[in-house]
Structure formats: structure tokens, C-alpha cells
Amino acid sequence: MEVISLTSLILSINSLIDSGKYNDITISDVHTAIENKTLLRFIQKKCGPDIDLSIHLKSNAYGDFESFYEQKINQIYGGYAGDERRKWGIKNLGLCLVLAWTNEIIQLGEDLQLPK
């Protein structure tokens, strides 16, 4: 797998955080989107033209990235939801949680094969 699919997402999320425009996205919002397995689509809809996730959602450049990502982020959520502050130092911004958990997928390094 090319880790670039995850690192490019991290850069995009980081840019959203830096803009300050999406500080209203709460950890609870992120939890709900993860539970619904729609996190990427939630971010795309909420942030509109400030983020382009077309390569992650509408392209097969990274295989079935959406399914891969939603599955991996859901696994982290299942193990750590509610423990964000202790483990990652995050207590306020939902996008910071997305950033941390996307980074965690890379750090775990297990089964990084994207579905074709």
C-alpha cells in the first residue's frame, strides 16, 4: 500500500484545522460519522470547497480507500472512543481527532492493504 493515501488525507485535515473555520466540528460529530461509516463524506460535505477528497472517494487510485479507511477508523473508535484525551491529548476539536486517528492507522502499520 502507498501510505501517501493516508498522508495526503492528513495534510488536507491539517489545513482545515489551521483555517479555524471548522472548529465547530465536535468530537461527538466525528463519533457519529464514524458510527455511520461516513466520516470522509461527512468531512467533504461539512467543509465543501475547502477540501478535495475526490481521490479518496471517487477514484480507484488508492483502491477502495473509503471502505478501507472507514473500517480502520471504526476499529480505532471501537477501542478508544471516550479515551481521546488520555491517549491523544484531544478534548476539543473533532478534526484534531480525525488527524490523530488517521495518523494512528499509519502507526499501527498492520494490514495496510487497500481493497482493490
Q: Which residues form the domain of 84?
A: 4-108
Q: What backbone phi and psi angles, to 5 degrees, belong to 64?
A: -90, 70
**Residue 116 within a domain:** no
> In the chain, how many domains are there?
1
pTM for this predicted structure: 0.89
Please check whether residue 24 is in contact with residue 15, taking contact to mean a CB–CB distance below 8 angstroms: no
**Residue 78 within a domain:** yes
**Residue 13 within a domain:** yes
Query: CATH number of the domain that 69 lies in?
Result: 1.20.120.600
Residue 116 has pLDDT above 50, yes or no: no
**Residue 86 within a domain:** yes
**Residue 115 within a domain:** no
Q: What is the pLDDT of residue 48?
A: 95
66-107 pLDDT tens trace: 999 999 999 999 998 888 889 899 999 999 999 999 999 999
SS3 74: helix
